[in-house]
Amino acid sequence: MSTPYPVEILTLFPDFFTSPLQISLTGKAIERGHFSVRCTDIRDFTTDKHRTCDDVPYGGGAGMVMKPEPLVAGLEAARARHPGVPRILMSPQGEPFSQKIARELAQGPGMILVCGRYEGVDERVREHWIDREISIGDYVLTGGEVAAMVVIDAVTRLLPGVLGNQESITEESFSAPMLEYPQYTRPREFRGHEVPPILLSGDHGRVAQWRREQAEARTRARRPDLLERWPSDEDHD
C-alpha cells in the first residue's frame, strides 16, 4: 500500500475532531491507511504555566490575537515531520474553497491545517510561516476547526482508493460546471408523487440527456455564477 496522505491539524480544541474523524468515509479512509491525521494542541508549544496562546493586540482594539511563539513552534514541528507539505491557514481572508482547490490539495503531498481563533493570528505568522489561506465562505465562525473539517472531508474523498466507484467523483456536483440533476429511488410512487417516467424507460441515452437538461436548468436557476466562471476552471478533466 502507498504511503498515507498526511494531514496535520494545529488547533486549540483537538477534541473537536475526535468524532468527525472516526465516522463515515473519513473514518474508513483512516482505518484503511489512505490518509493519516495528527491533531496537535497548540497549547503544547507554550512555555508559561498558564499555557497562554493569545494576547491583546498592539494599537488597541477588541478581542485577542493568537501569539506567534506557540503557533510557529507547532508549524515547525509539523513541517519537520512532513517537509514540503503546504501550511494552510483557515481564514475568512483566504481564497474561497472550491472543488478545484480540493483536487489540487488531494494531488499534493499532504496538508498542515492551522485553525485560527479569536481575532486571528499575529500577522508575522501569516506573512512568514503560512503558504496558503483558505476560506469556506463569507461569514464568521468561532474558529477554523469547522472550516478545516470541510477541507479534510472534501479532499479525502478525492484520494485514490477512498471511493470505490470513481464515477461517483466525476459525476458529482462541482466536478462539472453544473449542479447535480434530481435523484430518485424506490418507491416509484410516494404520496401521490411519481418518479419521472423517463427514468424508468431503460433508454440510457434519453436518461443521460434528461439529466443534462435538468442539471443545466437547476444551475441556471440556483447558481448561474457557476456557468459564468466555468471557462477559468477548465482543468477539471
Q: Which three cell numbers stand for residue 6?
A: 498526511
Task: Work out the number of other CB atoms within 10 angstroms of the CB of residue 17.
Answer: 19
Name which of 171, 153, 173, 174 is nearest 162 in CA terms: 153
5-158 and 166-232 have identical folds: no
The number of beta carbons lying within 10 Å of the beta carbon of residue 95 is 11
DSSP secondary structure, 97-128, as one string: P-HHHHHHHHTSS-EEEEE-BTT-B-HHHHHH
Total-model pTM: 0.87
Q: What is the pLDDT of residue 73?
A: 99
Q: How far is residue 111 CA from its own chain's centroid?
A: 11
Please list the helix, strand and coil fractions of the chain in percent, rounded to the nearest 5, in that order.
Answer: 40, 20, 40
Amino acid at position 134, single letter: I
| Cell numbers representing residue 35 in the block | 490518509
- Report d(CA 183, CA 99) in Å as an integer: 21
Residue 128, all three cell numbers:
512568514
Can you give the pLDDT at residue 232?
Answer: 46
**Annotated binding-site members for S-adenosyl-L-methionine:** 116, 136-141
- What is the chain's pLDDT, residue by residue, as a tens digit (237 residues)? 579 999 999 999 999 999 999 999 999 999 999 999 999 999 999 999 999 999 999 999 999 999 999 999 999 999 999 999 999 999 999 999 999 999 999 999 999 999 999 999 999 999 999 999 999 999 999 999 999 999 999 999 999 999 976 656 655 655 567 899 999 999 999 999 999 999 999 999 999 999 999 999 999 999 999 888 765 444 444
Contact present, 76 and 50 (Cβ < 8 Å): no
Between CA 21 and CA 147, with CA 85 as vertex, the angle to 5 degrees is 40
User: Which string of b and e fits 147-185 if b means at least 16 CB within 10 Å?
Assistant: bbbbbbebbbbbbeebbeeeeeeeeebbbbbbbbbeeee
Q: Which residues are annotated as a binding site?
A: 116, 136-141
Domain locations in the chain? Answer: 5-158, 166-232
Which CATH number applies to 166-232?
1.10.1270.20
What CATH topology corresponds to 5-158?
Alpha/beta knot (3.40.1280)
